[in-house]
Structure formats: structure tokens, C-alpha cells
A and B are shown apart, each in its own frame.
Chain A
């Protein structure tokens, strides 16, 4: 196994981080301190006084993080020491911003509050991560059910289009709901898909990487090996048509391409896949009005026509105004106007944070995401088992790609989509899925140095 660093961009320092639970404990103290500081700054800025209310938003998540820490100490002693504090940092920051938006909502006499719910959902998600760690001591158990996972993913993806329970929000059919409860099944589906791909690709690795014919110096696999790529492309387009959301479709297809590339080492798959993906996206932008209008708003957000159009660029532009207002150091938590951005607590929480924490905060948040991704890739790099390698890579990649698509959308780099901002945005499905990913990465990092066999 090569010991060369992941890329020269990843400092050796990160590799040297001890897998010590004590190290993790120290970081958790720090992170909890940052959260307390953020909450008190918000109370002071908005209400001019501090109150014990903040304990409600601070204590339960902190206790949950410590429970997860305790479970790791007990069942995965050698797990990575950075993943939990980093994810917890983002989670608490998200709660703080949502609380801040709640205060603004109360000031203007509204009743749409999200923070308290987000607190309990965060606790639940962290406890689920603890359950994952406790119940799946060996990730290889997951390898036994690739097709079950695949089927589960397909069912979850179809659910939003189902009658009665399916729901369409802002033009995207990404939700299922029963009464008050609503759920974004696509978030969970991405984990099941990663498990399915990892299991499938480990067993089919040979044929998929064999040389077919050579065309123009490129190795082209035979038609039967292209089958899965085509099939999954069609499935992604299906997701696009059903869910009306380009982001979800690209997320799944991107996950698939990266995993097939990693398993086979054939860049060809990525090349042909990206051509198919871009073609699909362009065709979709022509065929479906909802995708086309997103493209239109993306290309020219500041035009008055797009700005005032229903479903146009109003939200995006408000986000840009907010971030620009934040400048380099931000307005300070509680001192900006993130409440002017529609859906600032969920889809546009990144812009809200960008306004109050500034470019410095944006860089810090992106750096934390990147660190989480690097820690995941490090598990993939060091793990002895191919299934775990692939799964860790897939899970790390899916977080990274999702952040790229969401934040790129909010900042106008990409067309806006309906994906959630991992760990930050208000919403239970997203928290649950991303904390489960952290749980899986933690147990795989724990087992990565052991020689394991299926």
C-alpha cells in the first residue's frame, strides 16, 4: 500500500492526528464552547440581553455528542478522532443560525420556528449514529445485502412520486409526508446506494475493468459492461423526471461514476458518464420547464425579468445580497439581515451564515467540510478491505459532492437545486442521513488498521 499522501494538498499533519478518544474529547469541549459563544452572541445582538433559554439549544446536542463519544470509547476505540467534533461543530452552528432566524421571526410577529425541532432532530440523529456504531461493529456485514440495499434505495426514490404521501415543495418532488411529519427519502437513499454500489462493484470489478476494444487509443469496454452505466444513467434521468430535481439526479449519478471509476481504475467511465450527464442535463433544461427556469436564473440572476419571475432568481439574489453584505469578516452573528432570504433556515442557510460570518466564516465552514471529506478518504486510503474502501470513498464523496452542488448553487456557480446543506440546514432527513454516514465512517476508520476478512 502506498504511503504517499492523498495529494500534496493534504498536509501530513492530518494523517498524524491521533486516533485517541482523549483528543476527540478535548475537541468536543472546544466545539461546545464555540456553540455557547455563538448562541450568546446572537442573544446579545438581537435581544441585548442573555437568557438561560440558550441552554435549550446548547445542552441537548452537547449531551448527545458526548453520548456518541462514550459509545465510541466503548465500541470503536480506534475510530477517527476528528469526524465527530467536525460534524458536531457544523451541526451546532446550524442550530445557532436557525435560532437566530427564529428570533428575527418572533420580532416580526411570525410563528414559523425551527430551532427547537432542529435541536431534538440533531440529538436523534447523533443517537442513531451511536446506534450504528454499536450495532455494526464490522462494516463487512453490510456487504451481505447489496441488492437489498439497492432495492431499498429504489423504493425510497420512488416514494415522493407515490400518491397520497408524495409531496412537491417549490417544484421539486423530494418529499413524503404523513400528516405533520415529512421526510426526504432521497437523503437515506444515498447511503443505501453507496452500500449497493460498493457490494456490486467489488464482485463485478473483474469484468468491468477488462479491456474491450480500443478506439482512438482509448480502451472501450464491451457493450455488456457498459450496460450498468447506461442502466444507471437511465435511472438517474428517471429520478430527474420523477423528482424534478437536477441536483439529486447528479448526486446519485456522480456517486455511481466515482465508485465505478475507483473500483475499476477506468477513467473512461468518468469521461463517458460526464458526457451523458451533461447531455441529460441540457436536454432536461430544454424539455422540462422547471429545470429550464433554474438554468435561466443561474445564467442571468440579476436580470429584472428573472428576479421577478415566479420561481425565478429572487431567492438566489437575496442570498447574494446577504453574502455581499457580509463582506470579509461578516456582520457578526445576530447583526445581519439573513431573515430577508427566503428559506434561510434550510436551503439558504449557507448564505445566511455567509452574511453574518463573512468570507472568513464561509472559508472556515468549507474547510470543515473538506476536512470531513479528507478524513473519509483517508479511511478509504488506509482500509485493508476493498468493500470498506469503496464504501468509505463513496460516503466521503457524496458529502463532498453534495456540499459542492448546494453551496455552488447558493453562490451562483451552478444552477440551484433542492439538495440540503449537510449538518447545517433545518431538516431531520438530512441530519439523520449525514450523521449515519459519520457513524459508518467512524466504524470503518476503527477497523481500517485491522486485517479483516468477509
Chain B
């Protein structure tokens, strides 16, 4: 019988080895993914044990954790709603968002970069303090963008084309993070519910997330880049100048926004079409180029890419497998082209930066509580979507567009501003989405600004990008030009 006893022992040993193995897998291999699961509130509880790091903009603390006398010990305080879309919120009851979420482990002092601090804390008994996060935002520009956007729904994003540093990021309407950071369940939950149920979606950072927008004419920059890069077109390539254009394979006709042909003459150049922002030549161009070339150009500029700045950016999309009539519509940014304002700022920045697209980034540096710099922004090239020549040609057309074309309201005296407007249609009766994207000064760009205004800026189908969005961008660019 002893042989059987030994075998039973062996079988039990094998079972226990299986237990040892699964325990190791949970507590070593899967630790991170389980800990970071959004449903795991331990991470949130754990972070309240330590004083969370501050968030700074231009040396100024805009988010701090102050000591209070309750079980959570520290209350998160937010200085201004201007920064809400970027910093997000950190709540005991409703989770977190924005920088508070994406930089959580550093703010909470739990990242592996803070390992030695944690060891020290263990030895001297003082709790770890989280690291401070310094954003790249410029408070003056943020304020200018916030004020210029006024009461309209929409978003403004500004960045530095040579480095990718994001200088302003405004989204309206927004929320008050202090209402979500409280330590009492009822009011926090009520505020959170109200924000969630608000159809204007104040919790969404419109520059990078949400449902995205139809780009309308600002997408012509992408199509123009694709055309020039293909080598088959120059700025002087001509198209038949029509007042009505029948979409291929359909009986539907489209018009230019003027309702007339694109200027005088029977032919119109690519250059004139862009400066005047005519739809028909771009519809013809898109059909001629083909969807694959346009999509390839768009993807070089960041479409369909998952980007973390470190906030995660919803990828912009250029549709797949379209009919020719649909391709024609994408030529001027209609049909199912969906973009985030940041994506359009990236397209513009690539043009401004001589064809080189820098990765947009929001965090300048992270400083530990012992003043060690844990990480510092280093500019990164994301891609080179076009040649220096193409970038120069498009820049010239954009400058002309501001000077005497479709984007005149962005003009600043003594400064060469490059710009492109867009007035995107959303549905037969729906108000337009109004766009402006551009940069200044054109010869050595310091700032790229992209503005989107929803709901036609409150005047339905009567507003245009030039009328509503361009002045907002101008106000922001002006701050830099006046320095």
C-alpha cells in the first residue's frame, strides 16, 4: 500500500505546485494590470495615504493637496476651471481623469522612478510625498484662449511647432474639479451625475476626445499636402472651374460655399482653390488622387494613431472603402472624416515646422519631493509627413489666404500669419462647425493655434470659420507676437 501512499503524496504535491504557480502569477506577473484595473479602488485609497504632488503651470501651483482632518487626510484643491480639461480630477468616489489619471503613479509617489524615495520613507518613517508635475501650458495664452472663446462651445489648442510643447488647451463648457474632489459621497455623486447627464458633456476634453468633429475645409491642408507630395500636382495645376459639380456615380450636385465658380475664368489653379477655399476643385482633386493616397498622407500626420500626450488622444479617422462620390466629399473634409482639434493642430504644426511633425506633449518636467528631476520633456519627432518644399508651398498659400483669401480675420498687422478656415456641415439643418487653424509668424513659426467652435458659434448656419473662429486664434497668436 505504501507505493499508493507515495503516489497520492506526489499527486498532492503537484496540486500544491499548481497553487504556488497561480499565486506567483497573480502576485508577480499580473500585479500591475490588476492594480491598474479601473475597478480596483485600492489604488485610489492607497494614494490618499500620501500627500499627492502638485500640478504647476509656469511655476504657479494650480492643483495642490492640502491637509484636512478626516480619514483621507488630504483634500485636492483646484485653483481655476481654466485648466480643468487638462488636469482632470481626482476623486475618492468617481475615479480620476486627465493629468490626475495619466500621471497618477508619479503624483502619488508610487512610480518605480520614486523607488529610492520609497525606501527612504520606509527607513525614516516619513510618508512618501508625490512628485510635482509641471505642465507646458503658458498661463497667459491659456487665459487669452479662454477669454477669446467666450461663452461659445468649442476648443482651442496652441502648440510650439518646433518642439511639440502644448501651450494652451481650452475646452468649453467645462467642469469644476473641486466639486468632484470632495470627501462626502452625496454632493460629489450628485455633481458627477449632473455632469454626466449634461448633454454638453462638460467632462470631455474637446481638444482630444469626445465625438470629434468634421474638419470641413481645414482638411484641404491634408489633401493639398497629399497632392503636392504625390509629384503629380503643383500649385499651378488647374481644374475645370465649375459652379456645380455632380458627384461621380450619383445625381447629387455640390457647390462652392460662395454658390458660384471659384473666381474668374474657366480654369482654376490648386493655389487659388486653397486660398479661396473652394470645394469643387478639391472634390475633383480627391477623386483624382484616390482615397488611399489621402489616407496615407493623413496617417503620416497622426490619423488612426493612439497618441498619449500623456492624456490619451482619440484617434482621428479617414474612412475606409468609400465610393468615388464619398471620396469627393472627403476632399473638403466632409462625409465621415472625423478629427480632433489637436490632430488639426498637428497637421498645421507639420507645415509650420518645415514638414517635420513633433510629438505634442503636455508635461515639461516631473520633480520629486526631494527636488530630483524625475523626467524632463525632450522633443520627439513623430514623423516627416511632407518635404520642406511642400511645407513651404502650403505655408505660402496659407499666408495668402489670411492676406486676401478666406481667412482674413486672422490677420495681424506687421506679422505674416498663415491660416486656413473651415466651415463644416453636420446635417442639413444642423449648425455648422467653425474652424481656424494657422500659425505665426509664417517665416519662423512660434505658435500654432487651432480653434473649433461648435453649433455655428450660436448663429446656426450663418457663421463662418473666418467670422467666428479666426478672431479667436488671432487673439491667442497676438499674445505671442506682442511679446
Binding site for B on A (CB under 8 A): 1-2, 4, 6-7, 9-10, 258, 261-263, 265, 302, 307, 317, 320-328, 336-337, 340, 354, 358-359, 362-363, 366, 369-370, 373-374, 377, 380-381, 386, 389-390, 393, 397, 400-401, 403-404, 407-408, 411-413
* Contact present for A1 and B12 (CB under 8 Å): no
Given A1-B2, A328-B28, does the pair A397, B8 have CB atoms closer than 8 Å?
Answer: yes
* Contact present for A261 and B4 (CB under 8 Å): yes
Mark each residue of chain B from 19 to 30: 1 if its CB lies under 8 Å from any CB of chain A, else 0: 110111011101
Question: How near does chain A come to B34, taking the closest CB pair, in angstroms?
Answer: 4
* Contact present for A411 and B22 (CB under 8 Å): yes
How far is it, in angstroms, between the C-alpha of A337 and the C-alpha of B28 when the chains are bound? 18
* Contact present for B9 and A10 (CB under 8 Å): yes
How far is it, in angstroms, between the C-alpha of A42 and the C-alpha of B34 when the chains are bound? 25
Other than the known A2-B3, A6-B10, what 14 A-B pairs have Cβ atoms closer than 8 Å? Answer: A261-B4, A320-B30, A324-B26, A325-B34, A327-B28, A327-B31, A328-B28, A336-B42, A369-B16, A380-B5, A400-B16, A401-B15, A403-B16, A413-B18
* Contact present for B8 and A408 (CB under 8 Å): no
* Contact present for B42 and A322 (CB under 8 Å): yes
Q: Does B6 contact A (CB under 8 A)?
A: yes
Q: Which residues of A contact B16 (CB under 8 A)?
A: 366, 369-370, 400, 403-404
* Contact present for B19 and A324 (CB under 8 Å): no
How far is it, in angstroms, between the C-alpha of A400 and the C-alpha of B12 when the chains are bound? 7
How far is it, in angstroms, between the C-alpha of A359 and the C-alpha of B20 when the chains are bound? 9
Q: Which residues of A contact B6 (CB under 8 A)?
A: 4, 6-7, 381
* Contact present for B22 and A408 (CB under 8 Å): yes
Q: Which residues of B contact A393 (CB under 8 A)?
A: 5, 8
| A/B interface sample: 5 pairs, CB < 8 A | A262-B4, A324-B40, A397-B12, A400-B15, A401-B12
Binding site for A on B (CB under 8 A): 1-6, 8-13, 15-16, 18-20, 22-24, 26-28, 30-31, 34-35, 37, 39-42, 45-46
- Nearest first, the 4 A-B pairs at minimum CB distance are A324-B34, A359-B27, A262-B4, A400-B12
| Among candidates B1, B30, B39, residue contacting A265 with C-beta atoms closer than 8 Å | B1
Main secondary structure of the interface of B (DSSP, over half): helix
| Among candidates A6, A307, A386, A403, residue contacting B9 with C-beta atoms closer than 8 Å | A6
How far is it, in angstroms, between the C-alpha of A362 and the C-alpha of B2 when the chains are bound? 31
Q: Which residues of A contact B8 (CB under 8 A)?
A: 258, 261-262, 377, 393, 397
Question: How near does chain A come to B377, taking the closest CB pair, in angstroms?
Answer: 31
* Contact present for A325 and B23 (CB under 8 Å): no
* Contact present for B27 and A307 (CB under 8 Å): no
Question: How near does chain A come to B60, taking the closest CB pair, in angstroms?
Answer: 35
Given A393-B8, A408-B18, does the pair A321, B13 have CB atoms closer than 8 Å?
Answer: no
* Contact present for A413 and B19 (CB under 8 Å): yes
**B24 (CB) vs chain A CBs: closest residue:** A359
* Contact present for A307 and B13 (CB under 8 Å): no
Question: How near does chain B come to A331, taking the closest CB pair, in angstroms?
Answer: 9
| Among candidates B2, B19, B35, residue contacting A411 with C-beta atoms closer than 8 Å | B19
Q: Which residues of A contact B4 (CB under 8 A)?
A: 261-262, 265
How far is it, in angstroms, between the C-alpha of A393 and the C-alpha of B19 when the chains are bound? 21
* Contact present for B1 and A262 (CB under 8 Å): yes
How far is it, in angstroms, between the C-alpha of A413 and the C-alpha of B26 when the chains are bound? 11
Q: Which residues of A contact B19 (CB under 8 A)?
A: 366, 403-404, 407-408, 411, 413
Given A7-B13, A307-B39, does the pair A265, B3 have CB atoms closer than 8 Å?
Answer: yes
* Contact present for B9 and A321 (CB under 8 Å): no
